[in-house]
Structure 1
Amino acid sequence: MPDALVQVRNLTKSFSTPAGKVHAVNDVSFDIPRGSITGLVGESGSGKTTLGRVLLRLIEPTGGSTIFDGQDLNRLDARELRDMRKRMQIIFQDPVSSLNPRLKVGAIVAEGLVAHRVGTRRDRKDRVVALLEEVGLQADHMHRFPHEFSGGQRQRIGIARALALEPEFIVADESVSALDVSIQAQVLNLLLDLRERRNLTMLFIAHDLSVVEYLCDQTIVMYLGKIAEIGPSQALYRDPAHPYTQALLSAIPIPDPARHAERSHLKGDIPSPLSPPSGCVFRTRCPMALDECSRTVPPPISRGSHHESYCIRTEARYEPTSPIQHP
């Protein structure tokens, strides 16, 4: 993909447990174009959060590589990685537990500046004020504690902290899932404004596909540690190729009681990452599975420009009893 800021190649992460090896992320490859927002979706347990943290080396990978602006992050030593951290930041899911309740907002936002010894104390104070105002808060909010704010305001504080070192790349891990719908819209619009003003590149992790369709230029669908489908958001939502993507899209609520959509119900739950199915990991729940699916790890099959589906029956479609109508 042209001008990719982030290139992920065969990234793998396994955890050793007394019960065996957990395959959280398994041989994942994709690119994130510079200045774009890439959405990462899938059910709970699919490996989304682990992938985001391994990508930033907050968790050490088991294998593969993450190339950020031409540099392999997995080959950097501790000092080099510390310098690189200024260019990569994360917005955490829970705006309550991710903020230190013992620190005032000014100290929370300035943590990165202090850790990297950026500016004088006066410079850092001025920078904190500018950041709070940029995310829609007030300068005097820096003297308050996190518990004095609403959930949406706390998430804005988390965004301000992530922006403090002027990063080029941000991983937003379920950053609106804990917020009310009206507040979600405000935070999403803030992220879009920040992307435009700062030319940010983002990986937006979410389980709400309608949010991803609104926000993201590219969408990655993940299932049990592997990519099921990846492509430009418009193309993927208009013509989903993988049965798992089709099932997820059929579950998007339609805000019109006069319109009806038959849901594509998947059988069972996502298998344990301790013992993923052989071949295609989705085959145990797939309504179109063949015997060959248990023996073949599906390769990426092109569906058009930068649109790929990991399904040997990618030309087939599972149609519910009545057509699905998207708003």
Structure 2
Amino acid sequence: MSDALLQIRNLTKRFETASGTVHAVEDVSFDIPRGSIMGLVGESGSGKTTLGRTLLRLVEPTSGEIRFDGTDITGLDDRSMRDMRRRMQIIFQDPVSSLNPRLKVGDLIAEGLRAFGIGRRRERRDRVAALLEEVGLSPDHMNRYPHAFSGGQRQRIGIARALALEPEFIVADESVSALDVSIQAQVLNLLLDLRERRNLTMLFIAHDLSVVNYLCDRVAVLYLGRLMEIGPTNAIQHVSAHPYTRALNSAIPRPDPRAARTRTLLEGDIPSPLVPPSGCVFRTRCPHAAELCASGIPDAHVLDGQHQSYCKRTEDLYGH
């Protein structure tokens, strides 16, 4: 896509352990258009967090290409990557463990500014006050410690810290999963407002498709490190063409319990990434698996220009 801020091509991340090779992310390719929010969903253990951190090179990729605004960052040295990090930030999942309990909020948010030598002390303090107001907190909060805040407030502090260097791209790693539902809605609306005001581009990692459907423009579905389906949110929600995506959609709670629905229950647990199944990695839990699914990784089945399913039986099952 010509307007893509981030382009990922054949990205793979494997970890060597005493037990063998962990296939965390395998041959993933997609683009994230500038100013958009891409959702990344899948069960725990599907490789979502590893993929997000690999895009920022917090985890080094095994192979593949990551292009940020036209620059291949996989080949950058430490100094060049440090300069790039001003433009790429992360909001961590746990707002408790990600904030140093020994630092006051003002110092936490100003860490990046100090590290890059931005502004003098008074200027940094004014910048922190403005950031706190932007995320819905009081500037007076900069003199308190993280333990004095609720989970939702701590996540807002984490968002303010991510915004301090005025990045263009943010990875939000399960940034609302630890929050109460009412607080989740507030944080999601905050992220939408920030996207509009700052023209931010985001990768939003979640396991809850209902949250992703509300927030994101496009969705990528990951299972055992591989893409299952990718496309516009409306297509993933209403005309999903992969059995795994349909199972995830069927698990979304409906506001009317009397409404007719067909629930797809997946049996068993996600297989070990040490020994992924041959062929389609989802086949061991797929209710529609056939003999052909055991040989060869599925190619992308294009439903339209932006909607793709990685299933050998997409046309047989759904007529696409």
TM above 0.5, yes or no, is yes
CA distance in 1, matches of 2:290, 2:206: 30
Equivalent AA in structure 2 for residue 114 of structure 1: R
Q: Report SS of the residue matched to 2:204.
A: strand
Equivalent AA in structure 2 for residue 155 of structure 1: Q
Alignment of 1:263-274 (within 5 A): 263-274=263-274
Give, in angstroms, the shift of residue 89 of structure 1.
Answer: 0.1
- Write out the 4+ residue segments of structure 1 that deviate beyond 6 Å after TM superposition: none
Whether 2:220 is the aligned partner of 1:224: answer no
Give, in angstroms, the shift of residue 236 of structure 1.
Answer: 1.5
- 2:237 paired residue number: 237
Whether 2:46 is the aligned partner of 1:46: answer yes
Count of residues paired in the alignment: 318
CA distance in 1, matches of 2:36, 2:106: 30
CA distance in 1, matches of 2:290, 2:263: 22
Alignment of 1:49-68 (within 5 A): 49-68=49-68
Whether 2:283 is the aligned partner of 1:283: answer yes
Alignment TM-score, normalising by the size of structure 2: 0.98
Alignment TM-score, normalising by the size of structure 1: 0.96
Give, in angstroms, the shift of residue 292 of structure 1.
Answer: 1.1
- 1:124 paired residue number: 124
- 1:214 paired residue number: 214
Q: Report SS of the residue matched to 1:317.
A: helix
- 2:79 paired residue number: 79
Gaps (5+ residues) in structure 1? 319-327
Equivalent AA in structure 2 for residue 182 of structure 1: S
CA distance in 2, matches of 1:288, 1:316: 10
Q: Report SS of the residue matched to 1:315.
A: helix
Alignment of 1:242-261 (within 5 A): 242-261=242-261
CA distance in 1, matches of 2:248, 2:305: 22
Deviates more, 1:288-297 or 1:190-199: 288-297
- 1:185 paired residue number: 185
Q: Deviation digits for residues 141-191 of structure 1, max 9, x if unmatched?
A: 000000000000000000000000000000000000000000000000000
CA distance in 1, matches of 2:94, 2:316: 39
Give, in angstroms, the shift of residue 2 of structure 1.
Answer: 2.9
Q: Deviation digits for residues 76-122 of structure 1, max 9, x if unmatched?
A: 11110000000000000000000000000000000000011111111
Q: Deviation digits for residues 236-286 of structure 1, max 9, x if unmatched?
A: 111000010011100101122322423101121110000000111011111
CA distance in 2, matches of 1:208, 1:236: 13
Equivalent AA in structure 1 for residue 103 of structure 2: L
CA distance in 2, matches of 1:54, 1:133: 31
Q: Report SS of the residue matched to 1:172.
A: strand
Among all aligned residue pairs of Structure 1 and Structure 2, give the percentage whose two residues are the same amino acid: 73
CA distance in 1, matches of 2:274, 2:121: 49
Give, in angstroms, the shift of residue 289 of structure 1.
Answer: 1.1
CA distance in 2, matches of 1:274, 1:197: 43
Give, in angstroms, the shift of residue 305 of structure 1.
Answer: 2.4
- 1:110 paired residue number: 110
Equivalent AA in structure 2 for residue 206 of structure 1: A
Q: Report SS of the residue matched to 2:213.
A: helix
Alignment of 1:122-161 (within 5 A): 122-161=122-161
CA distance in 2, matches of 1:304, 1:267: 31
CA distance in 1, matches of 2:186, 2:158: 15
- 2:100 paired residue number: 100
Equivalent AA in structure 1 for residue 101 of structure 2: P
Q: Report SS of the residue matched to 2:247.
A: helix
